[in-house]
Chains A and B, each alone.
Chain A
């Protein structure tokens, strides 16, 4: 799986910062460049490990859920794991 385009990575970084700013969620110890580097790192990891993540989904879900549905499922699990109470 290819990595996101430069524009999409920039948009991810921008949208994240704007959303957290609106929520008055202060960043400590990181600049705009640091957050962009974090986006790049996560996207690189997702690109390199997309197959492994897909393989972690057992059948019949792996074969029958669409890619957007599996992406949303991943989002739900990550949210429940890390974002409860945020």
Chain B
């Protein structure tokens, strides 16, 4: 049985101690103008956002899919988004003394929206087990998201939101 989905808004994230992707706003044009919340990722410095969540007890071991809604300050080039899990396994993960090596999965968005201000939807999948750091049903975790600046778009990349669901 799958678990439906979890949505992570930009404000649900927390930056690490250094190189945090700032919480930013895309300013709309309605009346009054919208302040559309995003996480902004620099084009030259790798920046991160950490999200706390717990994989629901309904997770049935099918792996998870992350669906990203993103946009970019340019229409040319590519952006590469990466994500990795750190599972807080019961009585096994010493958070304040043990450094974790994040194993990133990625998606390269090779076709940006043809207008700056428009969005695109792309996914990253994780197979069950080591690919998602052994994360299982009912276990807390940290989801770390970053932009790999080896991509080519000469502008900020914006992550609007992330939906997590069990891979069908």
Chain B residues 42 to 84 lying within 8 A of chain A, measured CB to CB, are: 42-45, 73-77
Q: Which residues of B contact A24 (CB under 8 A)?
A: 73
Chain B interface mostly: loop
The residue on A at minimum CB distance from B78 is A31
* Contact (Cβ within 8 A) A32 B153: yes
Contact with A along B127-150 (1 / 0, CB 8 A): 000000000000000000000000
Interface size class of A (residues with CB under 8 A): 10 to 19
B43 adjacent to A17 (CB under 8 Å): yes
Q: With A and B bound together, what is the CA distance between A77 and B77 in angstroms?
A: 33
User: Contacts of A27 on B, CB cut-off 8 Å?
Assistant: 73-74, 76, 154-155
Option from A13, A17, A33 in Cβ contact (under 8 Å) with B155: A17
| Chain B min CB distance to A40 (Å) | 15
Interface size on B, residues (CB 8 A): 16
The smallest beta-carbon distance between A35 and chain B, in angstroms, is 5
Chain B residues with Cβ below 8 Å from A32 are 43-44, 77, 151-154
Q: Is A58 in the interface zone, CB < 8 Å from B?
A: no
User: Which residue in chain A gives the minimum CB-CB distance to B42?
Assistant: A18
Asked if A26 contacts B73 (CB within 8 A), the reply is yes
- Are A14 and B44 touching (Cβ within 8 A)? yes
- Counting CB contacts under 8 A, is B36 at the interface? no
- B75 and A26 contacting across the interface, CB-CB below 8 Å: yes
Per the 8 Å Cβ criterion, residues 12-30 of A in contact with B are 13-14, 17-18, 21, 24, 26-30
Pair A17/B154 contact, Cβ less than 8 Å: yes
Instruction: Show 9 A/B contacts (Cβ-Cβ < 8 Å), sorted by A.
Output: A17-B154, A18-B44, A21-B42, A27-B73, A28-B75, A30-B76, A30-B154, A32-B151, A32-B152
